[in-house]
Amino acid sequence: MRVLLTAFGAGLMVLAAGIGLSLANPETGGNALKPVSAFSEITDESERSAAIFTEAGKVIQHPRCLNCHPAGNRPTQGEDRHPHIPLVLRGAGGFGEVGMQCPTCHQRANVDLAGVPGHPLWHLAPIEMAWQGKSLGEICVQIKDPERNGGMSLEDLIHHMSEDSLVGWGWNPGKGRSPAPGTQEQFGALIKAWVETGAACPDL
Amino acid sequence: MGEAMTFKIKVNDVEHEVDVDSDIPLLWVLRDVLGMTGTKFGCGRALCGACTVHVNGMPMRSCVMPVGDLGESSVTTIEAIGDTPIGEELQKAWLDLEVVQCGYCQSGQIMSAAALLASTPEPTDHDIDTAMAGNICRCGTYVRIREAIKQVAQTSQGD
């Protein structure tokens, strides 16, 4: 019996390792953000604003952000944004259904030993903040709409993007995951400059 | 490597002092330090559910829970779940319906089922499917697990 159980445990480990391989495919290049100053030569303020947002979009449309802004009730994971394994559903407040709530597996910090990401408030963005399947222009319009951004003003949005620690997890995703481009500070500076130049959006 | 120190942890209403690194998973402490081997190691990545315990009543994958994060939390394992009314009913139902095949995953299955029934006394099929989705059974006992959970729910309704 002991041999059988050991073999079973080993089988599960092989299964998990196989799944893990699909998770651990970090991108290694193109991981910088242009500073706000790089857009100073665009004389038309609206065009400059849209260009700045497009740069910030490298973060917004990165898998670290999109995976928890699904259009349905199931998060995605990995660089290829495959459906979350195991099955978890949105549940109340985006924290998962009873029995499979986010903290059942996701701890207060990343657990690199197991490759499981973590944060004290790990949860899905509300469905009205769904970004997956939308163009950057559509996300831009949505992100300015208090009915679809959690009731935030543009000032609140700057603060959220610059300082929220769950947003900040995108730059500290743990072993085996590519971080969002640049730094949260650089991203926050882009969002601030975008707001200050009129919060114009790229084409839909 | 986490900081090595002595932690006081409460497991099944008993306080233990363990001298381990803060980032050692709770599962390792249960099995290797406290000798409580009812909770199983399956995948070590929170993907199979074999290591499920309750932390303050909530199902948690002990293979990824750093012991240093437990604080004052109360841990319940398969060794003590039968002391609760729901756990006792579940164990009876598991025997009545001969749920177990090889048995390796079943402690995790029972812990997840107990947490489900504690919060949802009359679970629907959807409730059961979603709550148990993270507990893998290589023997495929899922149908009997579902029936056992329903048996407990029906028994509890009659109380």
Residue A29 has pLDDT above 70, yes or no: no
* Domain boundary residue, one of B80, B95, B130: B80
What per-residue confidence (pLDDT) applies to A27?
41
Q: Are residues B13 and B75 in the same domain?
A: yes
Give yes or no for A99 touching B (CB within 8 A): yes
| Secondary structure (DSSP) of A94-148 | GSBSTTS-GGGT--SS-BTTTTB---TT--PPPGGG--TT--HHHHHHHHH-TTT
Amino acid at B134: G
Write out the H or E segment, with its range, that includes residue B61: strand B58-61
* Cβ contact, residue pair B138, A12, below 8 Å: yes
* Domain-terminating residue out of B21, B55, B80: B80
> What CATH code is carried by the domain that includes residue B48?
3.10.20.30
Q: Is the pTM of this model over 0.90?
A: no
The pLDDT tens digits for A64-82 are: 999 999 999 999 999 999 9
Range of the domain at B32: 4-80
Span A53-68, average pLDDT: 98
Angle ∠(B61,B63,B69) on CA atoms, nearest 5: 80
Partner-chain residue, chosen from A19, A103, A109, that has the shortest CB–CB distance to B47: A19
Residue B38: CB atoms within 10 Å: 17
Let me know whether B87 and B21 are in one domain.
Answer: no
Chain A closest-CA separation from residue B43 CA (Å): 5
Contacts of A33 (CB under 8 A, 6+ apart): A55, A56, A58, A59, A181, A182, A183, A186, A187, A190
Residues A163-177, mean pLDDT to the nearest whole number: 97
Find the mean pLDDT for residues B90-110: 98
Q: What is the pLDDT of residue A199?
A: 98
Among B65, B80, B95, give the residue marking a domain's end: B80
pLDDT of residue A3: 45
Residue A22 reports pLDDT greater than 50 = no
- Tell me, yes or no, whether B67 and B87 share the same domain: no
- pLDDT band of residue B158 (cuts 50, 70, 90) is low
| pLDDT band (50, 70, 90) for residue A21 | very low
User: Rounded to an integer, what distance in angstroms lies between the CA atom of residue B46 and that of residue B30?
Assistant: 16
For residues B87 and B75, state if they share a domain.
no
Sign of CA dihedral B102, B106, B109, B114: positive
Q: Do A98 and B127 touch (CB under 8 A)?
A: yes
Domain ranges of chain A: 32-196
The reported pLDDT for the residue numbered B2 is: 72
pLDDT (0 to 100) of residue B128:
97
Q: What is the CATH classification number for the domain harbouring B99?
A: 1.10.150.120
Domain co-membership, B64 together with B23: yes
B59 and B88 part of one domain: no
- Do residue B45 and residue A108 have CB atoms under 8 angstroms apart? no
How large is the ipTM?
0.93
Residue contact A104–B59, C-beta within 8 A? yes
B116 and A9: CB-CB below 8 Å?
A: no
Interface test with A, best of B124, B130, B141, B142 (most A CBs within 10 A): B130
pLDDT single digits (tens) B103-132: 999 999 999 999 999 999 999 999 999 999
**B73 in the same domain as B90:** no
Identify whether residues B27 and B51 lie together within a single domain. yes
CA A49 – CA A196 distance, rounded (Å): 8
Mean pLDDT, chain B, rounded, equals 96
pLDDT at B159: 57
The answer, yes or no, to whether residue A126 has pLDDT greater than 90, is: yes
- Does B64 share its domain with B103? no
Report the percent of chain A where pLDDT is more than 90: 84
The mean of the pLDDT values for chain A is 89
- Same structural domain, B109 and B125: yes
pLDDT band with cut points at 50, 70 and 90 for residue A13:
very low
Banded pLDDT at B29 (limits 50, 70, 90):
very high
The pLDDT tens digits for B51-64 are: 999 999 999 999 99
Mutate to test the interface with A, among B29, B40, B56, B65 (most CBs of A within 10 A): B65
Q: Residue B3: its pLDDT value, please? A: 74
Q: Number of structural domains, chain B? A: 2
| Residue labelled with tokens 């090595």 | B4
Q: Hey, which residues does A198 pair with through a beta bridge?
A: none
Q: Which of the residue ranges A14-18, A48-52, A75-79, B96-100 would you say has the lowest mean pLDDT?
A: A14-18
pLDDT score for A115: 95
Query: Within this chain, do residues B10 and B61 fall inside the same structural domain, yes or no?
Result: yes
pLDDT at residue A173 greater than cutoff 50: yes
Same-domain pairing of B87 and B154: yes
